[in-house]
Amino acid sequence: MDLVFIHGPAAAGKYTIGRALSELTGLPLLHNHLAVDAAATLFEFGTRGFRELRAALWRSCFESATRHRRSFIFTFHPEASVDPALIDQLTATVTDAAGRVHFVALTVSPDSLLGRLDNASRQQFGKLTDKALYKEIERAGGFDFPALPDPLLTVDTDQHSPDAAARLIRDRLLEVGAYLDPPAN
């Protein structure tokens, strides 16, 4: 099984690229905001209850996918409310079962990031859209996170459309022999 772990800052295009990659490869997309949104229905973002529930949801998804040998795409925004050890645990769930994790880093310039924040598509998942609040969180260290493992590929989303980025990722995954045509379960 293969896990495609797409990560990057807010408004880098993780969901849009993940969705396009899903269409190209047949891999299901586990968008991180599905767990964020579920946890936020019960707890305020960043509280202990929120962090525990989000982590439990992610763990459950990773464990089930691994148990059923279901390759998938996961999107992640590194930020301070996530325990870095959780990412190690999630990826170990896959690798301990002889699966492979392919990290894909998305980058975006600060100007483009701020320009994209208030896009209507971000509101679908209740994402951060307020530029002043984003800057405040950034100044306070809310987006600080240790470096993730070296990526298989880094895509500058200022230079590539979501569809082009998805094709670059798919092509790189094919080069390393990733399993991109999972069976329907």
> Cα dist. 7→43, 64, 132, 148, 172 in Å?
24, 21, 23, 9, 16
| Residue 4: predicted pLDDT | 98
> Which conformational region is residue 150 in: left (phi greater than 0), alpha (psi within -120 to 50 degrees), or beta?
beta
pLDDT at 118 (0 to 100): 78
First vs last C-alpha separation in the chain:
14
Q: What is the pTM of this model?
A: 0.92
Mean pLDDT in consecutive groups of 10 residues from the start of the chain, 185 residues: 96 95 96 91 95 97 97 96 97 97 97 82 73 88 95 97 97 90 51
CATH topology of domain 2-175: Rossmann fold (3.40.50)
Beta strand 153-156 with 29-30: parallel, antiparallel or unpaired?
unpaired
The helix-helix angle for 48-67 and 32-42 (nearest 10°) equals: 140
| Helix, strand, coil in percent for the chain, rounding step 5 | 50, 15, 40
